[in-house]
Structure 1
Amino acid sequence: MVSGLPLTTPDHPCVVYTGAVSNRVAAPLIFVLALSLGSLSSACGDDGDPADGGLDASADARDTAPPDTGPPPVCTAVPTVVDTGLTADTDPGIDPATYETDATTIAFDPEAVPASEASFPHGIMAGAMKPDSALFWTHRVGTGDTILRVYRQGAAAGEVVVAYEATVAPDAFGYVRETAAPLAPATVYNYAFFVSDGADGFTTRSGIGRVRTALAPDMALKLTFGATTCTGSVTGFGEPDGERQVLANGGYPALTLLADMEVDALLHLGDMSYNDAAWVVADMRPPADAPALYRSNDLGWGFTQNIQGYRDVLASTGLYFTLDDHEVVDSDAFDPETMVPSRLTAALDTMVQNVPIERGPGGELWASYQWGLTAEVIVTDLRTERLPSTRTTDDAIFVGAEQLAFIKDRLLNSTAHFKLVFSSVNMTNLPGESGWDIPLAFNDRWEGYDSQRRELLDFIIDNGIDDIYFLAGDIHANFVGRLEPEGTSPYARMWEITVGPGASGDNPLGALLEQGILMPQDVFPCEQFVFGSGRTQVATTLELDPLADTLRVRFIDALTEEVLYDDVLQQEP
């Protein structure tokens, strides 16, 4: 931790910040200050007599610097939208019963069954949605059979159509993961877990959830996805007034805002649960203790699952998720080449226990989910396969060869109009002159593994693949921008949307931007970015229309309800 950093404000350009910030935050902050405060040294010599330029000097005495006479920047812009004259529908116009081979219609009122927090202490989730299935999750405590019921509203009042019902068995730690199939595509279902009364009824239930299945392969419908990342903080573990607890006490309103929208799916770009302290405490415990620490209500997943915003949003829609670093440990310690393998395995296994995601046959965490002709969601794993020792070589390994081949295949052969690539860390060439290239940050994103970044982007350009949008998180800020400044590279035809963050601590650059110490051009130069902010409790939505060929992007500050950005992207010729 460091403190006593010199900062400026519009009213007081020569002040000292006396609070403490973490080393990870301090490094880029000090770097930015080194770039930006040199010109203040003559005005900030000491805080003495106002005549000598101290803190009480008048504003007029400070505003004597000559204006910048350089040429104005040539700003980029979103591509001009070409009207196709078409708009996709939102209704699939199908009869779900033709797909639900085991469906039954019954009289049923789920609200009549008492909800029990004690029986289902960590809520409910659904994920891994496909056209004919979804994966359902809960954490069960207590005795009695547990029943999963997936249903939709029937034709008559008081009736439901039960598409799937099963008695499910919690694992040794109480986790339930159940894939329900067959379901109908593009269909909204409700679901809940019930405790059997031993006969034909139920004694208690979980909350009631909502999920939509993915579109059938031939469907081209308009979709709205919510997106988030970075919910938590590495500071304040165990402190009632620490940043982590303060954020949790606020309930993560950006997630509740997304829940209220009932989006078609939630895209989570990682840092869902800040479990860093579980890793640290595990250093002092026997190896067998690590999973319990990651599951715990104070250090691990249990803490995150009990926050109201997550209860709201995860019950409102299905989830696609990729990890970033904090699900395991902060990035400066997350090195697959040097970490104790059993510790990493424990953290990842516990993560899979706690989130409705699928692992591949080799244990891989990357996957792809296609929503008809509209969108393919390509979920990558940018943490567990990277080899930092190769970073500066001509054969840098940010993702393994098998995953890279998978990403290329899905980009090249997808029949979906939009290809949404999960990139938990940025693919964008973030401007070094703005302070983004300190080694800790640069080495942690695609830019730090330049040869593999160029291999993937060159593959996209060489094959003429359009309508690819990278979705990123990690940086505790948000932006919409080109991968490179406009006109400097073929890569500039591609865009990245850094979503959220849902409820994070400040990015130092973003904090200085929001305080007016740095200007937007200093942090997100307009030659490359059309939007950027340092707001930290933000809801992001993506509205995709394959027939109009448009992707509408919205950022909403959940604390102020201000719409920070609302515009439409379209692939350039």
Structure 2
Amino acid sequence: MDGDEMGKRGGSAPAEDEAGQAREARLRRRDFLVTTGVGATALVLGCGDDDGGGGADGAVPADGGLPGDGGGLDGGLPGDGGGLDGGPGLDGGGGEDAGPEDAGTAPTGELPEDTEESAAFPLGVAAGDATESAVVLWTRYDGEAPLRLVVWRWDDGDYGPRIFEEAVTPAEGGFVHVAVPVSAGLRYRYAFFEMEGEARIGRSLVGRVRAAIAADAMEPLVFGAVSCTRNGRDFETLAQAGARDDLDAFLLLGDTTYNDGAASRAEFRAKWAENFGAEGYRALRSATGLYATWDDHEIDNNWNAEEIAPAVLEAATGAFFEHLPLGREAADADRVWRRRRWGRTLELFVLDCRSERLPSTREGEDAQYVSPEQLAWLQEGLAGSTAVFKVVLNSVGITDFPGLIDFGSDDRWEGYAAQREALLDHVDGLGISGVLWVAGDFHFASLGHVGSEEGERGWDQWEVLVGPGAQTANPLWRSCREPQFTFASGTNNYTELAFDPMTGAVTVRFIDGDGAVFEEQTITP
């Protein structure tokens, strides 16, 4: 460990328990058609014209339903507003014929690698917002040929049955979001194909994704995470993460792209494309499923929700959802905050810590860093969760940071003291175990207690700052010292979070652009 790091070495991460995965028995190809079918309706989500209307391009209307079918996919969970759970909009038939007589198999000559990769998918592919029964698959297509999406189950390191095949129609701008029904805990491969009749003439990258494990399952999980990837930088950290095939999911904590100065939808799209077209992001986004929130730079540096021009906010919000594999909430299509559960192991709480702030209230008893609705949702969710780990995606840290870092406290939870204290007191007062705050923004990595001293508010809660993935280091990391902080560094990295529900331990590894683990610690939040 060189002079750029401070910390204590911890234990090793638990190995993935393959025997504990909820896996279906592999079917022989000749029996597959007898037991299942691959016809399903492809849902193209939330990426229509700027006015949000549905129509000929297959986009979903503002209420989340398909044009004319009355169904919906709002990105919620059962018990949390409905949505991406195999319910309305996922149970209908129809669409084009599922394929030839042997559909459901992956015979030689029909694997995705047998078709040449096309340059018409410049941003690659992505999967995300996974639940135990559905996942959103994404691409941007710049060509003219008809498109078809094919999904295979991945069985023991090889292609298994083809479980989904449908024609898809890009929305305005070439964006495609498709909700695909999946089985809990299983792994999948997928690709988008350019078609000429029934012939595949070009394809996207081949993507990988895992469905969330079943509600009653408990097994070790390994997630990756990053923040702060500035446009034009070397994304070698992302390439290292993208080279892995063992990550169950990946967390984007915000400042995924730096869109400062953009004002129109076209300008925001260009900024997103600049980052997502880079090889590091193409590798990462195709390698595993994503969950994402935003910070400030997806819109503008330290933007103020009380002052931003509505047209700019609308353009930026539209571009955010266009470029990420996220479902849209039926009640509020622009809502970023949501929760996703991975069995009894962990529950993710994805926060929106930007668009609901009211800086004019900052110093009062009614300080609003997040809306009262989001705060109540989070408090109730944390108190009611039966998962071992409650992982809060919190783009800017909630920790009581020391020294010079306090000069920027008006731009994070600390600057909205009344609401921060109410939230931390809620967790402390109820003795909610397993809470892990995960944040970015600061351009340094750290691991430490939320409270500044033992016995103080938040001391028993832990927070990890992940990344920066591609940014200039903030030298103030050096002020994060023991005993509050057990590690801090300015080294560009992505972060691995290995969750062991049997011991209640999380092993945190910080991994640099060469793929080397430069710090590893195990905590019990």
TM-score (norm 1): 0.74
CA distance in 1: counterparts of 2:204 and 2:15, whole angstroms? 42
Alignment of 1:566 with 2:501, yes or no, is no
Which structure dedicates a bigger proportion of its chain to helix? 1
What is the RMSD of the two structures over their aligned residues, measured on CA atoms? Answer: 2.6
Alignment of 1:321 with 2:281, yes or no, is no
Judged with a 3 Å threshold, the aligned counterparts in structure 2 of structure 1 residues 106 and 261 are, in CA distance, closer, same or farther, namely closer
The code of the aligned residue for 2:21 comes to: P
Unaligned runs of at least 5 residues, structure 2: 39-103
1:443-522 alignment to 2 at 5 Å? 443-510=410-477, 520=478
Map of 1:274 onto structure 2: 258
Map of 1:164 onto structure 2: 164
Partner residue of 2:218 out of 217, 220, 224: 220
Unaligned runs of at least 5 residues, structure 1: 1-9, 11-74, 233-243, 283-289, 511-519
Alignment of 1:310 with 2:281, yes or no, is yes
* Identity percentage of aligned residues: 35
Map of 1:20 onto structure 2: none
CA distance in 2: counterparts of 1:205 and 1:397, whole angstroms? 47
The code of the aligned residue for 2:314 comes to: T
Map of 1:354 onto structure 2: 323
CA distance in 1: counterparts of 2:425 and 2:321, whole angstroms? 33
Map of 1:528 onto structure 2: 484
CA distance in 2: counterparts of 1:309 and 1:87, whole angstroms? 25
CA distance in 2: counterparts of 1:80 and 1:153, whole angstroms? 31
CA distance in 2: counterparts of 1:357 and 1:86, whole angstroms? 29
Q: Does the Cα contact within 8 Å between 2:207 and 2:288 map onto a contact in 1?
A: yes
CA distance in 2: counterparts of 1:568 and 1:524, whole angstroms? 18
CA displacement 1:58-82 (0-9 Å, x = unmatched)? xxxxxxxxxxxxxxxxx9989999x
| SS of the residue 1:359 aligns to | coil
1:219-258 alignment to 2 at 5 Å? 219-232=217-230, 244-245=231-232, 247=233, 250=234, 252-258=235-241
* Structure 1 residue 563, shift from structure 2 partner: 2.7
* Structure 1 residue 506, shift from structure 2 partner: 2.5
Q: Does the Cα contact within 8 Å between 1:88 and 1:548 map onto a contact in 2?
A: no
CA distance in 2: counterparts of 1:226 and 1:153, whole angstroms? 21
CA displacement 1:123-155 (0-9 Å, x = unmatched)? 110000111111011011222211111112469
Q: Does the Cα contact within 8 Å between 2:361 and 2:368 map onto a contact in 1?
A: yes
Judged with a 3 Å threshold, the aligned counterparts in structure 2 of structure 1 residues 87 and 270 are, in CA distance, closer, same or farther, namely closer
Q: Does the Cα contact within 8 Å between 1:146 and 1:168 map onto a contact in 2?
A: yes
Q: Does the Cα contact within 8 Å between 1:192 and 1:205 map onto a contact in 2?
A: yes
Map of 2:265 onto structure 1: 291
The code of the aligned residue for 1:227 comes to: A
1:185-204 alignment to 2 at 5 Å? 185-198=184-197, 200-204=198-202
Q: Does the Cα contact within 8 Å between 2:260 and 2:300 map onto a contact in 1?
A: yes
The code of the aligned residue for 2:328 comes to: R
CA distance in 1: counterparts of 2:157 and 2:519, whole angstroms? 42
Q: Does the Cα contact within 8 Å between 1:89 and 1:222 map onto a contact in 2?
A: no
Partner residue of 1:403 out of 369, 374, 378: 374
CA displacement 1:186-218 (0-9 Å, x = unmatched)? 1110000001111x2211100101001101001
CA displacement 1:434-454 (0-9 Å, x = unmatched)? x1011xx21011000000001
CA displacement 1:229-281 (0-9 Å, x = unmatched)? 0000xxxxxxxxxxx53x1xx3x111111122221100110000111132xxx
CA distance in 2: counterparts of 1:92 and 1:470, whole angstroms? 26
Map of 1:555 onto structure 2: 510
Judged with a 3 Å threshold, the aligned counterparts in structure 2 of structure 1 residues 345 and 474 are, in CA distance, closer, same or farther, namely same
CA distance in 2: counterparts of 1:89 and 1:110, whole angstroms? 26
| SS of the residue 1:437 aligns to | helix
CA displacement 1:485-514 (0-9 Å, x = unmatched)? 34241410000000111111231424xxxx
CA distance in 2: counterparts of 1:316 and 1:367, whole angstroms? 23
CA distance in 1: counterparts of 2:256 and 2:503, whole angstroms? 33
1:112-123 alignment to 2 at 5 Å? 112-117=114-119, 119-123=120-124
Q: Does the Cα contact within 8 Å between 1:125 and 1:136 map onto a contact in 2?
A: yes
Alignment of 1:413 with 2:412, yes or no, is no
Map of 1:63 onto structure 2: none
Q: Does the Cα contact within 8 Å between 1:76 and 1:527 map onto a contact in 2?
A: no
Judged with a 3 Å threshold, the aligned counterparts in structure 2 of structure 1 residues 154 and 567 are, in CA distance, closer, same or farther, namely closer
Judged with a 3 Å threshold, the aligned counterparts in structure 2 of structure 1 residues 122 and 266 are, in CA distance, closer, same or farther, namely same
1:22-61 alignment to 2 at 5 Å? none
